[in-house]
């Protein structure tokens, strides 16, 4: 269930509300392209800027539209363990397949606190994907802590988004087989696969889901040349997608491609014009604009 390409869906907004129709169309487009799963209300989905009712609306829409065709992982993380448990219980009732639980942000818990946090959330009974993104949370899961997490019943995978391949490789080495470690950065997707990673939670696949799936399938088939060609072809776009805080650039790109509006919520803001023009140029070179 936790191998392959999982698209970290953006949340389309229209006039200040979740654009459910656009979100459902995105789900179908992703599934038709062959992705293995969808992540809703994660970082790319602007969950932090959404109300509880809006997150419920988005999660339910994605789960209903997917109709069991692919795995759906819902973001339920919080820096409050009780709130995280409650959000995970609610997500389970919406019919999703797993919860994406980011390390508690701002409070900077010790490693033993991380183990306690995930142990309590896992008792809900919904499979838990731990999420390590220290650039946003202020705390990083250490390799020996990842090993302890892999031993918790119900913690089934780890999204590793530190961008540090040495850390990622050491985590994969310590957790061993049977516990999925997913790259949380498109730029480290192929390197992750090369050291035993299970796949990627991808921002890039919002734009080119078919090609990201092809990269994964090429690697798994032993065609490293094709996998490298795809990796290098889209690397400039990957860099542009993180030239400003995610999901500002990917929303701008989707709007340029005519797939949705680029409405985004403060404290994020629309992409600066200079960066926007550079992104447009890359999309044109890749022949992604009509």
Concatenating the DSSP letter of every residue in 66-109 gives: HTTSSEEEEE---SSHHHHHHHHHHHHHTT-SEEEEEPPPSS--
Give the pLDDT score at 35: 98
Q: How far apart are CA 119 and CA 155, in angstroms?
A: 8
The answer on pLDDT for 246 being more than 80 is: yes
Q: Is the pLDDT of residue 290 over 80?
A: no
Which CATH architecture is the domain 4-220 placed in? Alpha-Beta Barrel (3.20)
Q: What is the mean pLDDT of residues 46-69?
A: 97
Burial (0-12, 13-18, 19+ Cβ within 10 Å), 161: buried
**What percentage of the chain reaches a pLDDT higher than 70?**
100
pLDDT at 1: 77
Average of per-residue pLDDT across 51-58? 97
Q: Span 27-31, mean pLDDT?
A: 98
Confidence of residue 277 (pLDDT cuts 50, 70, 90): very high
Confidence bin at 259 (pLDDT 50/70/90) = very high
> What is the mean pLDDT of the segment spanning 47-74?
97
Would you call 131 a catalytic residue per the annotation?
A: yes
Q: What is the pLDDT of residues 128-167, one digit of tens each?
A: 999 999 999 999 999 999 999 999 999 999 999 999 999 9
pLDDT bin (cut points 50, 70, 90) of residue 262 is confident
pLDDT in tens, 151-162: 999 999 999 999
HSE of 36 in the Cβ direction (CA atoms, 13 Å)?
17
Averaged confidence pLDDT in the chain: 97
The per-residue pLDDT for 177 is 83
pLDDT given for residue 133 in this prediction: 97
Known catalytic residue at 210: no
Lowest mean per-residue pLDDT among 34-43, 81-90, 97-106, 169-178: 169-178
> For residue range 183-207, what is the model confidence (pLDDT) as tens digits?
999 999 999 999 999 999 999 999 9
What count of other Cβ atoms lies within 10 Å of the Cβ of residue 101? 27
Of these residues, 159, 216, 228, 278, which one is catalytic? 159
Which residue of the set 56, 94, 118, 131 is catalytic? 131
**Residue 254's pLDDT band (boundaries 50, 70, 90)?**
very high
pLDDT mean over 224-243: 98
Query: Which residues are paired to 7 by β-bridges?
Result: 38, 202
Check whether 124 has a pLDDT greater than 90.
yes
Pull the structure tokens for residue 255: 């709007």
Domain ranges of the chain: 4-220
Report how far residue 71's alpha carbon sits from residue 184's, in angstroms, rounded to the nearest whole number: 17
């Amino acid at each position: 269930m936790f191998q392959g390409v999982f698209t970290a869906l953006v949340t389309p907004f229209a006039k200040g509300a979740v654009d459910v129709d656009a979100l459902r169309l995105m789900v179908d487009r992703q599934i038709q392209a062959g992705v293995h799963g969808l992540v809703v209300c994660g970082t790319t989905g602007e969950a932090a800027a959404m109300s509880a009712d809006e997150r419920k609306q988005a999660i339910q829409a994605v789960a209903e539209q997917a109709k069991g065709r692919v795995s759906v992982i819902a973001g339920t993380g919080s820096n409050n363990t009780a709130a995280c448990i409650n959000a995970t219980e609610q997500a389970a009732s919406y019919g999703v397949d797993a919860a994406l639980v980011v390390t508690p942000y701002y409070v900077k818990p010790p490693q033993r606190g991380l183990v306690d946090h995930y142990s309590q959330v896992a008792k809900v009974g919904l499979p838990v994907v731990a999420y390590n993104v220290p650039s946003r949370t202020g705390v990083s899961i250490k390799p020996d802590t990842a090993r302890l997490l892999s031993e918790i019943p119900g913690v089934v995978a780890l999204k590793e988004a530190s961008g540090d391949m040495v850390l990622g490789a050491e985590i994969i080495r310590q957790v061993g087989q049977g516990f999925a470690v997913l790259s949380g950065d498109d730029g480290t997707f192929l390197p992750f696969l090369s050291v035993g990673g299970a796949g990627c939670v991808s921002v890039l696949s919002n734009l080119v889901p078919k090609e990201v799936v092809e990269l994964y399938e090429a690697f798994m088939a032993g065609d490293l040349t094709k996998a490298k060609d795809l990796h290098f072809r889209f690397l400039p776009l990957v860099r542009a997608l993180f030239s400003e805080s995610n999901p500002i650039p990917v929303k701008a790109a989707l709007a340029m491609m005519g797939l949705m509006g680029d409405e985004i919520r403060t404290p994020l803001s629309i992409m600066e014009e200079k960066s926007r023009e550079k992104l447009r140029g890359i999309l044109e070179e890749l022949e992604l604009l009509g």
